[in-house]
Amino acid sequence: MLTSWKKQEDLQFLNEVSSVPLQQSLRHLQTAFTNFFAGRAKYPNFKKKHHGGNAEFTKAAFRFKDGEIFLAKSPQALAIRWSRQLPQGVEPSIITVKLSPSGRWTVSILVDVEIERLPESSNQVGIDLGITSLVTLSTGEKVAPTKSFKGKKAKLRKAQKALSRKQKGSNNRHKASVKVAIVHAEISDARNDFLHKLTTRLVRENQLISVEDLSVKNMVKNEKLALSISDASWGELVRQLEYKCNWYGRTLVKIDRWFPSSKRCIHCGHIVDKLPLNIREWDCPKCDTHHDRDVNASKNILAAGLAVSVCGANIRPDSHEVKGQLQKTRKASRKA
């Protein structure tokens, strides 16, 4: 079909670029439909031109020589400002050129390298994810979130208001939309930079990392907390921990989301019935131990992670207990 499209008068622009990125885009479309019919994704939709895009070049469509990249049907080498140099003696296998909505071009180069494992460490840490403190470690350390969205909220609001005043289809509206995209890029860059530095530090310092397996998709349905949860980006933090642990030979343990980490006393194991979110400190009614809610939760997460890692213990609450909690929740919702 691609060959026949190139012969049509209204699609002559397809001949101006290499056939490889066109073929790759069709392969990506096939993958999207496969994921849709398998129930893993929504129905594929058309991408808008002004929202950027990417072109993927395999080995047949580029040349890498003396640190310079020449793409097929492009007479000059790409003017790249390198974020880091490629390892010596390594040849790229795939090059992806991407245009973001903010107008920034990026080049992603895929190479096959052997990642050196970090030396083993005796440190182990449990991580409790939160909003006031992005992560609370079992060591007692608390890391505040960047709140990158809230820091740029006024600037973003101003740019979006300016965009809403522009006439649709005009050149001024296009310029205003680019300004909005630039603010979004600044928010994303600040958040990703902070998360990469934090996750790299945690992986370098600890041999075992234990975290909760949170359902962020369901948690953002809470209208009061959705903005703060999305800004904290818990899912991205856990994703980075997961692949970095695989790279550097560390162990990441995900604790069941039903595990009562906050309500369980780390000293005696007593579990309180209720512990609202507004209570940040509490005393155990059985052993009178004073707890910081987040620190206690992170210690419980570490203990559960060690139990799972060492002996494969099942820390999921009993099914009758979970069923009873669900029935209580339903009764409370009916009364409300």
Bridge partners for 62 per DSSP: 71
Q: What tokens appear for 264 in the block?
A: 């369980």
Q: The tokens 């392969």 sit on which residue?
A: 27
Is there a catalytic annotation at residue 205?
Answer: no
CA nearest 204: which of 144, 245, 235? 245
Please report which helix (H) or strand (E) contains residue 142, including its range: strand 142-143
Helices 171-205 and 153-165: crossing angle in degrees, nearest 10, is 160
Task: Report CA-CA distances (Å) from 40 to 30, 32, 239.
Answer: 14, 9, 18
Is there a catalytic annotation at residue 292?
Answer: no
Whether 131 and 145 have beta carbons less than 8 Å apart is answered as yes
Task: Report CA-CA distances (Å) from 36 to 44, 45, 48, 279.
Answer: 8, 11, 20, 43
Q: Which listed residue (68, 120, 292, 294) is catalytic?
A: 294
Task: Report CA-CA distances (Å) from 197 to 78, 137, 147, 295, 297.
Answer: 29, 16, 15, 22, 23
Q: What tokens appear for 200 in the block?
A: 């790299």
Q: Which listed residue (112, 212, 283, 288) is catalytic?
A: 212
Is there a catalytic annotation at residue 212?
Answer: yes
What is the number of residues in the chain?
A: 336
Q: Which listed residue (128, 223, 242, 321) is catalytic?
A: 128
Task: Report CA-CA distances (Å) from 47 to 167, 177, 233, 319.
Answer: 22, 16, 25, 45
Coil/strand/helix, residue 8: coil
Alpha-carbon span 327 to 334, nearest angstrom = 11
DSSP string, 45-67: -PPPGGG-EEEEEEGGGEEEETT
Torsion angle of the four alpha carbons 11, 17, 23, 26, in this order, in degrees rounded to the nearest 10: -50
Active site residues: 128, 212, 294
